[in-house]
C-alpha cells in the first residue's frame, strides 16, 4: 500500500498490521524525550512524518486515533509514560488532539498535491501541515490552561521546537517514502 493510495472503507490485514506498527512507533517515540518546560521534546514528529508518507488516509487516521484512544484508556503511551484523560486535557494535550486533526489535513493535502511534485515533496508538505496543526492546537490549549498570551505560549510550545521539528519531518518524510516504496514492492 502506498501513501496517498487506495482509501477503501475497509482495512485489510496488511493495513491493520501497518497501523499497529505505527501505533507502536508513536508510543515508543513518545518515550524518547527531553523535558523542556511543560512541553517535552520527543521523536513523535519523526514518526508522524513517516506515518503520513507510508499509510493511506484511512489507515493513518485509524493509527493516530487508536494511539490517542489507548492513551485515553490509561495505557502509558504518551510522553513520560503518561496515559489517561488527564494527559489529553492537560497542558500538552492540545498537541495530541492536533495529531488527529493534523493527520486528516495532512493526508488530504498529500492527495491534493500533483503527483508531478514527487513523493518526497508531497510527504514533506503533508508532514509540515500536520506539524502546523499540532502546533496550533497545542498552543491554544496551553494558552487556556496556563493563562498565557499568544507570545508566551509560542515561546514555550513552538519556538524551541521549530528547528528540531523541521529536521525530524525532513528525515521522517524521507524514511517514510523509502518504507512506502519497499512496501509497494512486496504488496
pLDDT tens-digit series, residues 124-136? 999 999 999 999 9
If one compares 36 and 97, the residue with the highest pLDDT of the two is 97
The confidence score (pLDDT) of residue 7 equals: 47
- pLDDT tens digit sequence for 78-98: 999 999 999 999 999 999 999
The confidence score (pLDDT) of residue 9 equals: 54
Instruction: Select from 48, 42, 19, 39 the least CA-distant residue to 29.
Output: 42
Contacts of 160 (CB under 8 A, 6+ apart): 36, 39, 41
Is the pLDDT score of 10 beyond 90?
A: no
Rounded (to 5) percent helix, strand, coil in the chain = 75, 5, 20
- pLDDT tens digit sequence for 161-178: 999 999 999 999 999 999
pTM score of the predicted model: 0.90
DSSP 10: S
Opening angle at CA 96, ends 12 and 130, nearest 5: 70
Q: Does domain 13-186 correspond to CATH entry 1.10.1760.20?
A: yes
Amino acid at each position: 500500500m502506498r501513501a496517498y493510495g487506495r482509501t477503501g472503507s475497509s482495512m485489510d490485514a496488511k493495513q491493520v498490521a501497518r497501523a499497529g506498527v505505527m501505533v507502536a512507533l508513536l508510543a515508543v517515540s513518545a518515550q524518547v524525550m527531553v523535558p523542556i518546560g511543560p512541553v517535552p521534546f520527543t521523536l513523535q514528529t519523526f514518526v508522524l512524518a513517516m506515518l503520513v508518507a507510508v499509510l493511506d488516509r484511512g489507515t493513518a487516521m485509524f493509527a493516530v486515533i487508536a494511539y490517542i484512544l489507548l492513551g485515553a484508556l490509561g495505557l502509558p503511551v504518551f510522553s513520560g509514560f503518561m496515559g489517561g484523560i488527564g494527559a489529553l486535557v492537560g497542558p500538552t494535550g492540545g498537541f495530541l488532539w492536533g495529531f488527529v486533526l493534523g493527520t486528516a489535513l495532512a493526508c488530504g493535502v498529500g492527495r491534493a498535491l500533483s503527483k508531478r511534485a514527487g513523493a518526497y515533496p508531497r510527504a514533506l508538505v503533508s508532514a509540515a501541515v500536520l506539524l502546523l496543526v499540532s502546533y496550533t492546537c497545542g498552543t491554544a490549549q496551553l494558552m487556556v490552561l496556563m493563562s498565557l498570551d499568544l507570545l508566551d505560549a509560542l515561546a514555550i510550545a513552538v519556538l524551541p521546537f521549530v528547528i528540531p521539528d523541521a529536521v525530524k519531518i525532513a528525515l521522517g518524510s524521507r524514511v517514510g517514502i523509502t518504507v512506502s516504496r519497499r512496501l509497494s514492492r512486496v504488496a
